[in-house]
Amino acid sequence: MTTVLSNHWIQKRKPHWERLTALVATADQSRLKGLSRSELQELALLYRQAASDLSTLRQDSTSAALAGQLNHLLARAHHIIYSSRKSSWRTLLLFLRDGYPRVFRQQIAFTFSSMVILLAATLIAVVFTLADPRFANPILGPIVINSIQHHEMWTHSIVSVAPQAASGIMTNNLSVSFSAFAGGLLFGVGAVYIMFFNGLMLGAVAIACQQAGIAVPLWSFVVPHGSLELPAIVIAGGAGLRLGYGMLFPGIYRWKDSVAKAGVEATQLVCGVIPLLIIAGSLEGFFSPSAAPVALKFGVGAGLFLLLLIWLFRPLPAVAAK
């Protein structure tokens, strides 16, 4: 890099360093309380950009003094960013109570897209299974199909091994959700595939059970835990789509910065599904396959879904203006 080009580049990058300096100064004075969530995200992004800039400056011998200043600024920012990761249970609870609903609403377009993919696949499976019941066979597998053909639910055995079943169900649901999230790394294709396949399964099993006359046993099993499990998987799919969007459409950011920003936001979004899946797995292992009255099961499912909506969409405390 020549001196002329170096001066031009420095003038172009200087506003970003000044902004990082201002954020670091605010964080130093208030111990991070003076920064909003978006400003904290901006701080982390500017820190990564400045680290890359420092590497460039060090290649220009005429910028040694400026490199030293930027290195000092990065040291201060590093301390702030990494010391802030020491969170308490109170911080976690506050995030789940107020922070996560904000994150969910900020990324709601991706969650909505995930839901649309799931519902579109469900409708496709409904139409094709109604036209030809054999359509459901490869989707549901021989064990489930055989059980449906004998007009029996395939879930009765869960009750006898409820603790082990609940653990396995939680693990499986977490696996599906995080696969949908990680599928975003394939430029979003993996997330789309997982949501589409789960939609096909939902539509196929619904019609197959309806045709076999066991629709009520099916939905009385699905509704109690599905009221949380299905939204959690949809949200995880939305997180995967957010990650894929950041990879495909960096916008004003450099590609790696766009991916980093998308990764932070997608991770925040998927974190909220963990408590939902823990509750859903417990219900699916102990309550959903039980002999509890059908009305009670539907009531529990409706109540849990209502609480979920209240959590995500209730009015939130205003964030203090900075």
- Give me the pLDDT at residue 122, please: 96
Same domain, 62 and 187: no
Same domain, 71 and 158: no
Among 17, 51, 86, where does a domain finish? 86
Same domain, 147 and 278: yes
Same domain, 40 and 147: no
Among 60, 86, 112, where does a domain finish? 86
pLDDT over threshold 90, residue 143: no
Residues 225, 231, 233, CA angle at the centre, nearest 5°? 95
Phi, psi (degrees; rounded to nearest 5) at 289: -85, 5
Per residue in 170-186, pLDDT tens? 566 677 788 888 888 89
Among 86, 108, 142, where does a domain finish? 86
- Give me the pLDDT at residue 155, please: 64
The parent domain of residue 259 ranges over 96-313
- Give me the pLDDT at residue 322, please: 41
| Confidence band for 305, pLDDT divided at 50, 70 and 90 | very high
Contact by Cβ (8 Å): 245, 188? yes
Taking residues 237-262, report their average pLDDT. Answer: 92
Domain count, the chain: 2
| Confidence band for 319, pLDDT divided at 50, 70 and 90 | low
The pTM score is 0.70
| Confidence band for 80, pLDDT divided at 50, 70 and 90 | confident
Least confident of 10-24, 120-134, 296-310: 10-24
Per residue in 274-301, pLDDT tens? 899 889 988 888 888 888 999 999 999 9
Per residue in 89-111, pLDDT tens? 677 787 888 889 999 999 999 99
pLDDT over threshold 70, residue 198: yes
**What would the 3-class secondary structure string for the chain be?**
CCHHHHHHHHHHHHHHHHHHHHHHHHHHHHCCCCCCHHHHHHHHHHHHHHHHHHHHHCCCHHHHHHHHHHHHHHHHHHHHHHHCCCCCHHHHHHHHHHHHHHHHHHCHHHHHHHHHHHHHHHHHHHHHHHHCHHHHHHHHCHHHHHHHHCCCCCCCHHHHCHHHHHHHHHHHHHHHHHHHHHHHHHCCHHHHHHHHHHHHHHHHHHHHHHHHCCHHHHHHHHHHHHHHHHHHHHHHHHHHHHHHHHHHCCCCCCHHHHHHHHHHHHHHHHHCHHHHHHHHHHHHHHCCCCCCCHHHHHHHHHHHHHHHHHHHHCCCCCCCCC
In a domain, 320, yes or no: no
In a domain, 91, yes or no: no
- Give me the pLDDT at residue 84, please: 55
The mean predicted confidence, pLDDT, of the chain is: 84
Same domain, 121 and 144: yes
| CA distances (Å), origin 248, targets 185, 253, 267, 296, 305 | 10, 12, 18, 46, 33
- Give me the pLDDT at residue 294, please: 94
For residues 229 and 215, what is the distance between their CA atoms, to the nearest angstrom?
19
